[in-house]
Amino acid sequence: MPSSPTANALTIDVEDYFQVSAFAPHIPRSEWPIRECRVERNVDCILAMLDEHSTKATFFTLGWIAERYPELIKRIVANGHELASHGYGHERASDQTPEAFFSDIQVAKLILEDLAGYEVKGYRAPSFSIGEKNLWAFECLERAGYRYSSSIYPIKHDHYGMPNAPRHAHKIGQLIEIPATTLRFFNRNWPASGGGYFRLMPYEMSRWMIERVNTVDQLSAVFYFHPWEIDVEQPRIAGISRKTRFRHYVNINRMEKRLHRLLGDFSWGRMDEIFLGQA
């Protein structure tokens, strides 16, 4: 359980714009090495923002990114943030066999630990892709040596979600699952933890939802976003559907300003410190 109900976990899923799952039908993996990579610039901007607000966070990072930008990973660690795993190549857990998934999370952990110089405790599945049909993934995570996961989103969504899952941190075997934060009202779980919802909703709504989790549930919230969400100059992807275009680009031009407000309005910290009680 969280050590403080008012300290919330700030998390960043470190991937680039061309690695987003919704773009997979339009950008083959073979093109990743030749695409303009903007993650380093965007993460450096986030690091400066966090430093301005004296805030520490958890960076769920792809092994693919870490291999290509090792100095960026070292800057994350040197600034006192937690380095955690987002898998190697942003493949959805639900699209992999248990054997392929274990290999992916094990390789990513080894790459990140080699750069960080310490144990990587946490994992987040790309697109929150652990659900009722692949709960075997938790056994793989435990076997690979992870201490916690933040891979379930207890909402109903067309691409992911497990609406009947517990809304707050709970144990699965020896692993702690720390879901993305939702607010329960009108007999339904509502997303309250960032991403596209944070860009779409009025800021005041997001702030109210996090306050409710802190004061009514008396628990820490888990907030997430991606480096590409602050990048208004990222290349536009041709041929995507209207829904995908809206979800990816809506209010990106307002994101950085909203994050500054969020960092000022709440107390934030690393996942491992809040939920495991240790750095």
Counting every residue, how long is the chain? 279
Q: Distance from CA of residue 84 to its chain's centroid? A: 10
Half-sphere exposure of 13 (CA within 13 A, CB side): 30
Instruction: Give the residue among 77, 63, 137 at the shortest CA–CA distance from 107.
Output: 63
pLDDT (mean) for 225-250: 96
Is the pLDDT score of 210 beyond 90? yes
The Cα-based distances of 116 to 67, 80, 82, 165, 272 in angstroms read 12, 11, 9, 32, 15
Is the pLDDT score of 239 beyond 50? yes
Q: pLDDT grade, residue 187 (50/70/90)?
A: confident
pLDDT (mean) for 246-274: 97
pLDDT (mean) for 194-199: 92
Q: pLDDT grade, residue 1 (50/70/90)?
A: very low
- Least confident range from 3-17, 90-104, 138-152: namely 3-17
pLDDT digits 0-9 by tens, 9-52: 999 999 999 999 999 999 999 999 999 999 999 999 999 999 99
pLDDT digits 0-9 by tens, 48-80: 999 999 999 999 999 999 999 999 999 999 999
Task: For residue 134, give the DSSP letter.
Answer: G
Is the pLDDT score of 2 beyond 90? no
The pLDDT value recorded for residue 4 is 39
- Note whether 162 and 194 are within 8 A (CB): no
Half-sphere exposure of 156 (CA within 13 A, CB side): 5
Cα separation, 14 vs 224, whole angstroms: 10
Instruction: Give the residue among 118, 114, 93, 116 at the shortest CA–CA distance from 103.
Output: 93
For the whole model, what pTM was predicted?
A: 0.95
The Cα-based distances of 260 to 64, 182, 255, 264, 265 in angstroms read 29, 22, 9, 6, 9
Axis-axis angle for helices 203-215, 252-265 (nearest 10): 30
Mean pLDDT, the chain, whole residue set: 94
The Cβ of residue 19 has, within 10 Å, a number of other Cβ atoms equal to: 25
The Cβ of residue 130 has, within 10 Å, a number of other Cβ atoms equal to: 29
- The residue type of 175 is L
The pLDDT value recorded for residue 162 is 86
Mark out the alpha helices in 61-133 (DSSP H runs): 63-68, 70-78, 98-116
* CA-based R_g, the chain, Å: 17
Domains and CATH numbers, the chain: 7-276 (3.20.20.370)
The pLDDT value recorded for residue 186 is 83
The pLDDT value recorded for residue 185 is 83
Which of 6 and 159 is assigned the larger pLDDT? 6
